[in-house]
Amino acid sequence: NAGVTQTPKFRVLKTGQSMTLLCAQDMNHEYMYWYRQDPGMGLRLIHYSVGEGTTAKGEVPDGYNVSRLKKQNFLLGLESAAPSQTSVYFCASRRQVFGNEKLFFGSGTQLSVL
């Protein structure tokens, strides 16, 4: 049972390049999330999904797109990377049951945009 797996762990992009971050979970969770974490800013929600085929905007969605074609995968895309997108990205998942259900996080992706 791998939990939540993020790939890649590190990436350096040039401004204007595109890339996709992959998040995979093997716990059959309904909810999946993409966060970014910047110094002094805490974790901020980019996009999230409440089930296969659904996506919704979070707090800071601009410049990102997502897809949830399969329940176990949640992809985060950067169409044209900008230096402001340099950050650590975390994927997370949880069960659908409301209440004190914990988030399971991936180990993070360190992205630098030059």
Partner 1 sequence: RKEVEQDPGPFNVPEGATVAFNCTYSNSASQSFFWYRQDCRKEPKLLMSVYSSGNEDGRFTAQLNRASQYISLLIRDSKLSDSATYLCVVGNSGGSNYKLTFGKGTLLTVNP
| List of residues contacting partner 1 (CB under 8 A) | 31, 33, 35, 40-45, 50, 56, 90, 98-100, 102-103, 105-108
Taking alpha carbons only, the member of 42, 73, 83, 79 closest to residue 61 is: 79
- Of the pair 14, 100, the CB lying nearest partner 1 is at 100
User: Minimum distance between the CB of residue 108 and partner 1, rounded to whole angstroms?
Assistant: 6
User: Minimum distance between the CB of residue 109 and partner 1, rounded to whole angstroms?
Assistant: 11
Q: Is 17 left (phi over 0), alpha (psi -120 to 50) or beta?
A: beta
Q: Is 70 helix (H, G, I), strand (E, B) or coil?
A: coil
Q: Where are the alpha helices (DSSP H) in the chain?
A: none
Q: How far is CA 96 from CA 1, 27, 61, 90, in A?
A: 19, 12, 22, 19
User: Minimum distance between the CB of residue 28 and partner 1, rounded to whole angstroms?
Assistant: 17
Pair 47, 61: CB distance under 8 Å? yes
- Of the pair 11, 44, the CB lying nearest partner 1 is at 44
User: Minimum distance between the CB of residue 75 and partner 1, rounded to whole angstroms?
Assistant: 19
